[in-house]
A and B are shown apart, each in its own frame.
Chain A
Amino acid sequence: MRKLTISLAITGTLLLAACGGSSSSSDTTAAAGAGTGNECTAGKTLTADTLTIGTGNPAYSPWVENDKPESKEGFEAAVAYAVAAELGYSDAAVKWVRTGFDEAVQPGKKNFDFNLQQFSINDERKKTVSFSASYYSTNQAVVALAGSPAIGATTVADLKDVKFGAQAGTTSLDFITNVIKPSAEPFAYDDNAGAKAALEAKQIDAIVVDLPTAFYIAAVELTGASVVGQFPASASTTPDNFGLVFDLDNPLVSCVDTALAALKDNGTLAEIEKTWLSDKTNAPVIAVS
């Protein structure tokens, strides 16, 4: 919490410094009104003077702590508020809405300006929604309970006879089908809660999720579970790049991209990552080829 405040303070200072001297290519200079966006965002949000952000219901750790994004605790909560601040919105001008994972990336008008729920940027989704630049990059990982045949796997071949489960409609499920290619068809669930229930009931041997979620599941949500390993980026597998999801061709995207670029440059994003996800990146590597 304290680190976050410091980060924000640093960000604010840098922003002011940037405003003062640089010749930025876009018009993201001093806030237009008192904490209600800047010149870029003017007229591009759903509601004037408000930034409406969407996330999952419930929103899981370590992305949002205690399902309370307003607390600014959790990696994605922190990123959301950092972007909002960068765009000139005060905390009070940020409004949260909850959506299902799937419905956020389906075609149709959105009830948010942008949504973040560990959405991986991919071409198929780009046909129906627009993404910001990536704010986080991670790998797929495997979670299993003690005694599972997945424990100790170091290559994909070791996982061939494992019964997998994953959330339907995610890149994790695709990963199982296209990269791991186990002999038994995986089970699909409406959400990770279902996958966890199945894991505990020993109906599946392992779950595939993104690495930070894998750590959270293993450390907090399930007893006796561990992260078996992560799949690194390689020729056959691309890492998951998380992007903020917008209405298709929403002009707000460019404003947000500029904000994200600034947050990356000034180290805020790295700081947030370090705060919320630092202990969640060390897992053995499972070779893919």
Chain B
Amino acid sequence: MSTAKISLRGVHKAFGANSVLNGIDMDIAEGTVVSLIGPSGSGKSTLLRCINLLEPIDDGEILLDGVDISLPGLDANPVRRRIGMVFQNFNLFPHMSVQDNITLSPIRTLGVNKAVARTKAVELLERFGLADKVHAFPDQLSGGQQQRVAIVRALAIEPEVLLLDEITSSLDPELVGEVLDVVRELKTSGMTLVLATHEMGFARDISDLVCVLDSGHIIEQGLPSQVFSAPQSERAQQFLERIIRAGRL
């Protein structure tokens, strides 16, 4: 019996003729940080979007606390309140203030009282140094600030797991640090995190488990020290070599 928070068994996903995930097996233990790395098109984003049911899988199963959440026809909304997601392009709602962005879901899906939700929002923003932006609009914030607000927004509904889909890839280099700090803090607080990332150094530092994806397969999986220093599969070796040569590790 798996005690993993999230388990994937034989997950397949294709878009038309294009097969993106070709049999993914992985376990994500509670309170751990799992990084997904790999070349573009390897299926990292798709895998994350399958976990929170934004994309329905074609075959296989996804278990959350041992329960199959990938059953076709299952109501996804309750699942999504337990598994949150943060996107590469922040995707904040431009017509709403930071406060409204954060409180929208708690009020509408959890029935939280508006005043309570707002207080909670301010607390979260303070935790990440953004308390003075509570009434600002997304277009008034820098990229790093927007992404941090996006993380706060995802945290506001108190998910059990947070999926982070290349959340620093759209940021200017000097803004990446502040976002990574947030992720570190989340890890410290014991949150289960799954991140797809190109930030290899960060992944090595923070992860409990690293999975290397290539063409929809997990070609290497293990502790960061193993995967980054002594990858066993040839493809993984080639990939890491290229990363190092680009000065990104």
Touch test A–B (CB under 8 Å): no
Binding site for B on A (CB under 8 A): none
* Residues of B in contact with A (beta carbons under 8 Å apart): none
